[in-house]
Every structure is written in C-alpha cells, then in structure tokens.
Amino acid sequence: MTIAFIGLGIMGSPMAANLVKAGHDVVGYDLSARRVAELESRGGKGAAGVAEAVADADLVITMLPDSPQVEEVAPVILAHGAAGLIYLDMSTIKPETSRRVAREAAAKGVRALDAPVSGGERGAVDGTLSIMVGGAAEDFEAARPVLGALGTTIVHVGPAGAGQTVKAANQLVVGGVYGLVAEAIVLLERSGVDPVAGLDVLAGGLAGSRILDLKRHSMIRREFAPGFRIDLHHKDMGIAVAAAREAGVALPLTAQVAQLVAAARAQGHGSLDHSALLKVVERLNT
C-alpha cells in the first residue's frame, strides 16, 4: 500500500518506520522538517504538506496531539483523498470528534476509523501496540493488514467513536496505576524498605501490571524522560471525565486521578513522562 502518515512525533515516527519495514510505501508529513528527514533516512518519503502526502495514498494515518489538530487536518484529507480511501485516525481525541469526522468522511466516500493506541513509545518502536478500533466492521477488516505492522492486540470495539471511548478507559486505568505505584514507592522508602525489592515482589504477584514491568525501576531512579508526557495525559483525563459526563456515570477515582495529573502539570512537570506523578505524591509528603 501507499500510506500517508501525518504526525511524526514520539509515537508517529517509529510507527511510520515500522510500516516502511513491512514493505509499504510511506509518505510522511510533520510540522518538523527534522522528523520528515528522519523518515526519509529510514526509507520513507517526505511531503511538503498534508495535501501532497495524501494525494496518491491508499490509506492515511494521522497521529496528532488533540482534537483541534485532527479537526484542522481532516478536511484537507477528505478534500484531497480519493474515494474509497481508508482514513485511520490513531490520535487520542474526543469520541464526538471521531464520530463527526466519520460522518463527514462517509459523505466523501472515505472510510474513516478511529484507532487510538496504548503501549507508549516502547510499544510503537517494537510494533507491539494495543489498538482499539471504532468504525464499520468491513473497513476494520480492510485496514487490519496495516494495523498488524503496528500492534499485536488489535480489536474492533464498536462503531465510530468507540475506539476513543475505550482509549479513555485505558487512560484512566493507566493514570490510576501510576498514582498507586508512586504511593507504593513513597510508602516503602519512608518505611525504610528497599523499594527495588518491594516492587519486584509486587510485580510478580496479583498487583503486577505492565506499568510495574516497564517503569518501576526508572520511577525509583526518578528518571522521567518522556515516553508519554504529562501534558498529553492531562488532555486524556479531560476526555475521560467528559466521556463519563456524557454517559451519565460517576467515576470518583477517575476524577481524583485527573486532579493528580493536573497538579503535576501545574507544578511544571508537563513535559515529563506520566510516571512523574511520583513527584506530586512526594510533594504531598514534604
């Protein structure tokens, strides 16, 4: 396939590279010329803009920061993409934005799917992302071969917008686990217990999680280089809270986690990895 990839950031760049490795012709665009050049160095092609990138594409992927960026780019894709084009938005955005894009795409003969991901930068690099897809079942099946180059858990979860709702649920769980791991580290350290030994035991028991597997040692070392920034998780928690309001459900722990993430951002940690929730918990205890 010829694939246009719009948004070559921390997640998008390795994802586009994996599509090149899988044998696809990838044409990338990003506001950063350096990122476009990186894709070219990996065997992809660069474009000067969104319209140029999508002109000859069989499939388009967007991996953008938030709903406003998708709302800006989607009309250009729909205006310049061919009828029958598959449009995979893999950004994490509001479910209602995905539903609106899907309606507008259908009117243009474009097959739109919302396909947000989980797994962080490591999952993007390794091609082991978990991908939750909303949209028509037949369009999902058409896109599945491409998604297979990006992830290992690929599930059609429902109609347009459903992928984003599942991603909101993912982010509230991830944020909650980070907060609890942070509290566990503080409890162990203040109690005079080696946190490495303590978390090693937790990781092997019922408390085990992907976050403990991947992040416990870097959290103990206070290494917060971003795989996924606090700023983005703050945005995602806003989506989760809004989704709860729209569904008419009370999610009290989600609200608490959203406040912890907001506190991290207010304290100037927005550019750090979301495991930096540890810094908030530490500050509460000083």
Per-residue pLDDT of 73-101, as tens digits, reads 999 999 999 989 999 999 999 999 999 99
pTM over cut 0.85: yes
Question: Is 279 assigned a catalytic role?
Answer: no
Of 73, 109, 119, 256, which Cα lies nearest the Cα of 176?
A: 256
In order of 96, 214, 216, the CA distances from 201 in angstroms are: 42, 14, 11
Which residues, at least 6 apart from 217, have a Cβ–Cβ distance to it below 8 Å? 196
The pLDDT value recorded for residue 227 is: 84
Q: Alpha-carbon dihedral of residues 231, 234, 238, 241, nearest 10 degrees?
A: 170
Over residues 233-256, the mean pLDDT reads 96
In the chain, % of residues over pLDDT 90: 98
pLDDT in tens, 148-187: 999 999 999 999 999 999 999 999 999 999 999 999 999 9
Q: Is the distance from CB of 61 to CB of 15 less than 8 angstroms?
A: yes
Does the pLDDT of residue 233 top 90, yes or no?
yes
pLDDT in tens, 29-47: 999 999 999 999 999 999 9
Sort residue 161 into left (φ over 0), alpha (ψ -120 to 50) or beta.
Answer: left
Does the pLDDT of residue 7 top 90, yes or no?
yes
Q: Is the distance from CB of 145 to CB of 115 less than 8 angstroms?
A: no
Over residues 215-241, the mean pLDDT reads 96
Q: What is the mean pLDDT of the chain?
A: 97
Catalytic residue among 21, 45, 108, 167: 167
pLDDT in tens, 52-78: 999 999 999 999 999 999 999 999 999
Which structural domains are found in the chain, ordered by start?
2-158 (3.40.50.720), 165-284 (1.10.1040.10)
